[in-house]
Amino acid sequence: MRPGAFLLCPLLALGCARADRIEIAPPALRFVGVGKGAPVHAAPYERNGRPIPDPPCTWSSSDEKVVRVAGRANDATVTSVGPGSASVRCTIGSAVGELPVLVRVVAHLSVRPERAELKVTDPPAPLLLEVDAVDDQGAPVSGRPPLVTCQDEAVCRGDGRGQVWPVGPGQTTARLEIEGAAATIPVRVVEGRGADSRPRAVKGNPMEELERKVRERERAAEAGKR
């Protein structure tokens, strides 16, 4: 060893520091659905417990069919890809920090009522559908209202709060979706307004009728000038 070399590390502590353990925050992640992302941060420590900023992590995933990770230095973003479990790793030299990740997807929807019966009223009143969702392991999934759409929007329309709104008399199908899982129910809408409040059917050409009345007023004005 070159004389005095033993003094080099104490003088240049950062250059000689080695990561002994790595902590990742948060300590675990759980996703419901694919394409979900969350930030993570890795903190490396020396054996004596002192934090070290360098060198940065090399990020990796144990199964990229479940989760992917993309990062710069000690910060990264974890993104769900498919159902299952995997580990996100930060590697610095021989030290490795691991973050367990669980990904679940909504697999099945149950809808009540099984058939929607609505009336057209003034003001319009929606029907709130009750939806039970379970994931690929059969566990219930809560806090995710379904997106509702109607095949024929002249009969009904849906929204993102699990409601279906009557538009006009007829029959159609409503589709409910949560995280890619879907269910359909038949919808029947009847007229619930009185005759006076219903919109009247348009007969003939309204523009021709308007133009005729304008011409009559113009002729009457000309006659009054004579």
The pLDDT assigned to 206 comes to 57
Query: 56-62 long-range CB contacts below 8 Å, 24 or more apart?
Result: 56/92, 57/22, 57/90, 57/91, 57/92, 57/97, 58/90, 58/91, 58/92, 59/88, 59/89, 59/90, 60/88, 60/89, 60/91, 61/86, 61/87, 61/88, 61/89, 62/86, 62/87, 62/88, 62/89
- What does the pLDDT look like over 47-87, one tens digit per residue? 888 888 778 899 999 999 999 999 989 999 999 999 999 99
H or E element, residue 212: helix 206-225
Statement: the pTM of the whole predicted model exceeds 0.75: no
The pLDDT assigned to 8 comes to 40
Residue 13 binned pLDDT confidence (cut-offs 50, 70, 90):
very low
The pLDDT assigned to 48 comes to 87
Mean pLDDT over all residues of the chain? 86
Between CA 43 and CA 75 the distance in angstroms is 9
Structural domains in the chain, CATH included, are 13-104 (2.60.40.1080), 106-194 (2.60.40.1080)
- Judged against a pLDDT cut of 90, whether residue 104 lies above it is answered with yes
- Judged against a pLDDT cut of 50, whether residue 12 lies above it is answered with no
